[in-house]
Amino acid sequence: MIIFCEECGRQHEIRCPQNSGSEALLACDGCEETLKVPDAPAPVAAPAETPIRLMIVDDSRLIRKVVRQMFDADERFQVVGEAANGREALDMLAAIVPDVITLDIKMPEMDGLSTLKHIMIKRPTPTIMISALTRDGATETFDALRLGAIDFMPKPSQRDNASLEDQERLIKHKVKLAAGVKMDNVRLLRTRPRNGGVLAKAIERCVVLGASEGGYGALLKIIPQLDPTWPAAYLAVLYAAEAHLDAFVDYLDANSALRVRRAADGTPLEAGTCYLASGSEYVTAVRDGDRTSLRVHPSPFPERRGAINMLMLSVSEVMAARTVAVVLTGKDVDGAEGAAEIARVGGEVLIQDPRTCLFKEMALSALRLCRSGRPLNDSEIATAIKTLFINQHHRLGGKTHA
């Protein structure tokens, strides 16, 4: 606190006193005038944080009890309802209005995936799948994420390597992150399996997608909705374990109209195909005569995230204004520099709206560095890509780029 002597104008810096109810006095160093030190205002208590309202859906009474006990002793959370199957959960949903739902898959009367569809249609709510079936790389996990689940984890178990305390920290962390995801504009998207062969065309456009944590769900909202007849190749980087990435490629390929392949060194880019790489690989696009090919090498610094930037920068050199960058959910800042460079050379940038991201850092950093980037819900990005293609086709005179 700083006070001034009215007699001589000398400034006095003093420690702010506590609100004691008694008047403090101070002698001025300059004129020895007695100064009254005003009492500091009583500190205002921060408003109590509103607890996250949680609904637990599982047919096992024991699992419901275990999960509930994890949250009951924590004032940041409030368990507002339990249901033994999906039908019970849907009946309760409108009355209790949870912020987050934990949902099992195998249940009587109505299973978890059917329940999830109804939740996303009737009252979109951040939902975490907690099931023995929902593990990294499992088909059931990908099904749930495609239908709108925010995250997943196995059921708490003493048989797992992690202690119950670690599992409790994990589930609380996931619920807290899920509660921060905006669900207002969720659309239930249908997959588009291939019918017959993909039409081969010269490549006019190239779309580069980058995702990290939470990226499975985002890519599942986009890639199955893309049209293989558009004259474009798609390159995606996802930070995920190699074994799980292979399973994800197979799942996407089975549920998309596009062909989906692992990015491999020397592969020529083809229209109507999406090439998926892991964040531990450095992938670049190079001009090879009259065609564009991929170069894929293990990252020399896998702990430093830069695979998305590297791919975007290389494609910006080869395709320039015919490039579309898509930055999705994830930690860290990978993708921001690459997207900004694509914008600089005349390409387009789409960014997942941070409010819809499980992890917001990548999207926020891209928006800060690339002011022309358009924030969109992940369910809107495939349509936005199509619109960009149409606009670019007219603007660039319809010329192709092999």
pLDDT digits (tens, 9 = 90+) for 145-157: 999 999 999 888 7
- What's the CATH number for 205-395? 3.40.50.180
Residue 293 or 14, more confident: 293
Q: What mean pLDDT is predicted for residues 37-43?
A: 59
Q: Rounded to an integer, what distance in angstroms lies between the CA atom of residue 326 and that of residue 374?
A: 10
Other Cβ atoms closer than 10 A to 349? 26
Q: Does the pLDDT at position 41 exceed 70?
A: no
Per-residue pLDDT band for 401 (boundaries 50, 70, 90) equals very low
Cβ–Cβ < 8 Å for 89, 117? no
Q: Rounded to an integer, what distance in angstroms lies between the CA atom of residue 153 and that of residue 275?
A: 27
Per-residue pLDDT band for 133 (boundaries 50, 70, 90) equals confident
Per-residue pLDDT band for 72 (boundaries 50, 70, 90) equals very high
Q: Rounded to an integer, what distance in angstroms lies between the CA atom of residue 36 and that of residue 24?
A: 6
Sign of CA dihedral 140, 141, 144, 147: negative
The average confidence (pLDDT) of the chain is 86
What letter represents residue 35's amino acid?
L
Q: Rounded to an integer, what distance in angstroms lies between the CA atom of residue 147 and that of residue 190?
A: 9
- What end-to-end distance do the CA atoms of the chain give, in Å? 69
Cβ–Cβ < 8 Å for 39, 69? no
Q: CB-based burial of residue 389 (10 Å sphere; 0-12 exposed, 13-18 middle, 19+ buried)?
A: buried
Q: What percent of the chain has pLDDT over 90?
A: 65
Where does the chain hold its CATH 3.40.50.180 domain(s)? 205-395
Cβ–Cβ < 8 Å for 164, 176? no
Per-residue pLDDT band for 29 (boundaries 50, 70, 90) equals low
Phi then psi for 275, rounded to 5 degrees? Answer: -110, 125
Where does the chain hold its CATH 3.40.50.2300 domain(s)? 52-179
Buried b / exposed e along 82-94 (16+ C-beta atoms within 10 A): bbbbbbbbbebbe
CATH architecture of 52-179: 3-Layer(aba) Sandwich (3.40)
pLDDT digits (tens, 9 = 90+) for 160-209: 666 888 889 999 999 999 999 998 666 666 666 666 555 556 788 999 99
Dihedral Cα 210, 212, 218, 219, nearest 10 deg: 50
pLDDT for 400 equals 42
pLDDT for 301 equals 73
pLDDT digits (tens, 9 = 90+) for 203-227: 889 999 999 999 999 999 999 999 9
Least Cα distance to 208 among 296, 277, 292 occurs for 277
pTM listed for this prediction: 0.81
Q: What is the rounded radius of gyration, in angstroms, for the C-alpha atoms of the chain?
A: 27
Q: What mean pLDDT is predicted for residues 320-331?
A: 95
Other Cβ atoms closer than 10 A to 185? 14
CA 27 vs CA 11, 19, 23, 36, 215: distances in Å = 12, 20, 14, 9, 65
Q: Rounded to an integer, what distance in angstroms lies between the CA atom of residue 169 and that of residue 353?
A: 27
Other Cβ atoms closer than 10 A to 246? 15
Phi then psi for 2, rounded to 5 degrees? Answer: -120, 130
DSSP H or E segment with residue 337:
helix 336-344
Q: What mean pLDDT is predicted for residues 217-241?
A: 93
E strands within 173-322? 205-211, 232-238, 259-262, 273-278, 281-288, 291-298
Sheet strands side by side (includes 259-262): 259-262, 273-278, 232-238, 205-211, 323-327, 348-352, 374-376
Q: What mean pLDDT is predicted for residues 117-123?
A: 93
Q: Rounded to an integer, what distance in angstroms lies between the CA atom of residue 199 and that of residue 204?
A: 14
pLDDT for 11 equals 60
pLDDT digits (tens, 9 = 90+) for 82-99: 999 999 999 999 899 999
